[in-house]
A and B are shown apart, each in its own frame.
Chain A
Amino acid sequence: MNTVATTTPVVTSVAKPTTMRSARGLAYRGIRNIRRLPSAFFPAMAMPVFTMIAFAGTFAAITRLPGFPTDRSVNWFMPLGICFGAAFSGIGLGFSTIRDIETRFYDRLLMSPAPRRSLIIGPLLTAWVRVAILCAFVIPMGILLGVRFTSGLLGLLTLVVAALGVSTISLGWGLGLAFRFRDMRGAAVMQLTMFVVLYLSSAQMPLPLMRGWLHNVARINPTTNILRLSREGLVLPTSPDYMSWSNTWGGLLAIAGMSTLTLVFARRGLNKLDK
């Protein structure tokens, strides 16, 4: 009697794994992998630091251009570095998924009764944790190098939101490609496309200071809005790009739209893999 009473709830909990419980399990696994395989996470940490230091130093003189929104090059390039790192955090989980598919671990996940949604939400939670670690490391380093938030904590918040958004988009894209390619050929496509999409925006220069074809491309590239969101708390209060709702909603909309598209792309890829 006593035994039956104890066993029943256990059986129920195993038989009906919820999406969030499975996703948490996968997220823990992803976070443990950061410690077990630091070489896989290292590029996502090194890249933003390198981008921030190298770009801010090499292109320091661009702040002397009339109309440049900040007088500190590091203020301009730190958000770019963080967005790059966030993109690589998401893509890095695409690489891990390819490795899991190649080693047949993913087959075991597909055979388990875990809800399919959790196979996307789990890595998404890991990507967000990676972004949190990234921001906790890069932002203090940026402050040491001379970064100043011109609109206080709100600027920090918009930067973190933009980074989380970029990681969500890149994760959806990375998983979608991983489920379709199923081998490391997909890794090159993931990196190349994210790299190109980020660069074909206001990554290096503000939109009004660009000329020619890049200006036309950056103007319609939604990533420009996300970068504007990430930088609005770091530009001068006199700049038109300074913290305001009109500089915020475009970025939020771009994150929502691109995240939805890439996550749907990932889900459809997972369905194909499942078949």
Chain B
Amino acid sequence: MTVATSNVVIETTARSRQLSMRQTIAMAKRSTIELARQPALIAPSMFFPIFFAVLSASSFSKTTAIPGFPKVESFMQFALASTIVQGVLFGSVTGAAALATDIENGFFDRLLLAPTTRTGILLGRLAGSALFGLFQSAFFLTVLVPFNAPISGGIPGALVMVLSGGIVSLAIGAIMSSVAIRTGSAEAVQGAFPLLFVLLFFSSAFFPRETMSGAYKRIADINPISYLVEGLRALVLEGFTFSAVVRSLLVPTVICAAAILFALKELRRKLAAL
């Protein structure tokens, strides 16, 4: 009798996990389709990073000779990693703003009324952002590599870069989703974006830390975005080495784990308040 009951419990738990996974996948599919159906929302996150990369490559082409600048074939090669991070930052905000819109227009409440997994609501949305991040990273590499921006790590290096782009997207998406859950306002999410932009500028994304000095260098030294970009840049400039792979995946994974935990905590807080 006891064995039979325990078998039923195990089976129910397994079925519940399966159901939860199916619901999360359905939510991820919804958020991906939602992004794909609104090209006007995603176009800036595809266009602007390319525009800035092409502009910087032409503007700063002579700066690669400055002492302290890493050995590169072109400024475009140096800018490849920052283009991915920049694009992914823009894209992740779109996903989080969509979550805030769901809260604003009541769709989030309808999901809560449905017998669906609570974490799936958030993780499904984040999975959509991560997929978009993967797509963006692959797109930027495909477009920019032919312009004298070879990846020393070759195809494996490029694949790790795409994967890293997806993880960065997940991490930033989780951070911005926390803002969306806490405020329930798409405007607040968009308003928080300049903070990310400031972080990006005060990092080594656009110019190497070795050429900076004073307060700017100290800020770039403690800015996590510097390490995110430099990990990816190592794959482009140093090649497919163990150190480069670890740096390009470890930093975003740590940030991602912390950000998801924080977002889930925000979600639990919101549910408890209902």
Q: Which residues of A contact B (CB under 8 A)?
A: 46, 50, 54, 57-62, 64-65, 196, 199-200, 204-205, 209-215
A57/B215 contact (C-beta < 8 A), A214-B59, A215-B58 known: yes
Q: Which of B61-69, B174-182, B262-270 contacts A (4 or more CB under 8 A)?
A: B61-69
For residue A75, give the distance in angstroms from its CB to the closest CB of chain B.
16
Query: In the complex, are the beta carbons of B202 and A61 less than 8 A apart?
Result: no
Which of B59, B198, B202 touches A210 (beta carbons < 8 Å)?
B59
Query: In the complex, are the beta carbons of B55 and A199 less than 8 A apart?
Result: yes
Query: In the complex, are the beta carbons of B59 and A60 less than 8 A apart?
Result: no
Which of B55, B65, B206 touches A59 (beta carbons < 8 Å)?
B206
On chain B, the residues within 8 Å of A62 by CB distance are: 60, 63, 66
CA distance in complex: A247, B69 (Å): 33
Query: In the complex, are the beta carbons of A61 and B211 less than 8 A apart?
Result: yes
CA distance in complex: A64, B65 (Å): 10
CA distance in complex: A212, B58 (Å): 6
Query: In the complex, are the beta carbons of A204 and B60 less than 8 A apart?
Result: yes
Closest partner residue, chain B, to A59 (CB atom): B207
CA distance in complex: A64, B213 (Å): 13
On chain B, the residues within 8 Å of A50 by CB distance are: 198, 201
Closest partner residue, chain B, to A63 (CB atom): B66
Tell me if B107 is interfacial: C-beta within 8 Å of chain A. Answer: no
Closest partner residue, chain B, to A65 (CB atom): B62
Query: In the complex, are the beta carbons of A58 and B66 less than 8 A apart?
Result: no
On chain A, the residues within 8 Å of B214 by CB distance are: 57
A-B residue pairs in contact (CB < 8 Å), sample of 7: A59-B206, A60-B211, A62-B63, A204-B59, A209-B62, A211-B62, A212-B61
Tell me whether chain A's interface is mostly helix, strand or loop, or mixed. Answer: helix
Which of A61, A199, A214 touches B68 (beta carbons < 8 Å)?
A61
On chain B, the residues within 8 Å of A65 by CB distance are: 62-63, 65-66
B residues 200-241 near A (Cβ < 8 Å) are 201-202, 206-207, 211-216, 219
On chain B, the residues within 8 Å of A64 by CB distance are: 66-67
Query: In the complex, are the beta carbons of B59 and A57 less than 8 A apart?
Result: no
9 further contact pairs, Cβ within 8 A, besides A54-B202, A65-B62: A58-B207, A61-B66, A61-B207, A61-B211, A61-B212, A62-B63, A199-B55, A204-B60, A205-B59
For the A-B complex, the count of residue pairs with Cβ-Cβ distances under 8 Å equals 66
For residue B219, give the distance in angstroms from its CB to the closest CB of chain A.
8
Tell me whether chain B's interface is mostly helix, strand or loop, or mixed. Answer: helix
On chain A, the residues within 8 Å of B59 by CB distance are: 204-205, 210, 214
For residue B249, give the distance in angstroms from its CB to the closest CB of chain A.
26
CA distance in complex: A130, B235 (Å): 47
On chain A, the residues within 8 Å of B61 by CB distance are: 210-212
The interface bits of chain B over 117-132 (1 if a CB of A lies within 8 angstroms of the residue's CB, else 0) are: 0000000000000000
CA distance in complex: A247, B67 (Å): 32
The interface bits of chain B over 170-192 (1 if a CB of A lies within 8 angstroms of the residue's CB, else 0) are: 00000000000000000000000
For residue B4, give the distance in angstroms from its CB to the closest CB of chain A.
64
On chain A, the residues within 8 Å of B206 by CB distance are: 58-59
For residue A92, give the distance in angstroms from its CB to the closest CB of chain B.
16
For residue A46, give the distance in angstroms from its CB to the closest CB of chain B.
8
CA distance in complex: A214, B62 (Å): 13
Query: In the complex, are the beta carbons of A57 and B62 less than 8 A apart?
Result: no
On chain A, the residues within 8 Å of B219 by CB distance are: 57
For residue A272, give the distance in angstroms from its CB to the closest CB of chain B.
25
On chain B, the residues within 8 Å of A58 by CB distance are: 201-202, 206-207, 212, 216
B residues 64-108 near A (Cβ < 8 Å) are 65-69
On chain A, the residues within 8 Å of B67 by CB distance are: 64
CA distance in complex: A209, B206 (Å): 18
CA distance in complex: A57, B212 (Å): 7
CA distance in complex: A62, B60 (Å): 8
Closest 4 CB pairs of A and B: A57-B216, A214-B58, A61-B211, A54-B201
Query: In the complex, are the beta carbons of A205 and B60 less than 8 A apart?
Result: yes
CA distance in complex: A215, B63 (Å): 15
On chain B, the residues within 8 Å of A196 by CB distance are: 51
B residues 34-74 near A (Cβ < 8 Å) are 51, 55-63, 65-69
CA distance in complex: A210, B55 (Å): 10
CA distance in complex: A58, B216 (Å): 7
CA distance in complex: A60, B194 (Å): 22
For residue A197, give the distance in angstroms from its CB to the closest CB of chain B.
12
Query: In the complex, are the beta carbons of B55 and A60 less than 8 A apart?
Result: no
CA distance in complex: A211, B58 (Å): 6
For residue B214, give the distance in angstroms from its CB to the closest CB of chain A.
8
On chain A, the residues within 8 Å of B55 by CB distance are: 199-200, 204, 214
CA distance in complex: A64, B201 (Å): 20
CA distance in complex: A118, B228 (Å): 53
For residue B238, give the distance in angstroms from its CB to the closest CB of chain A.
21
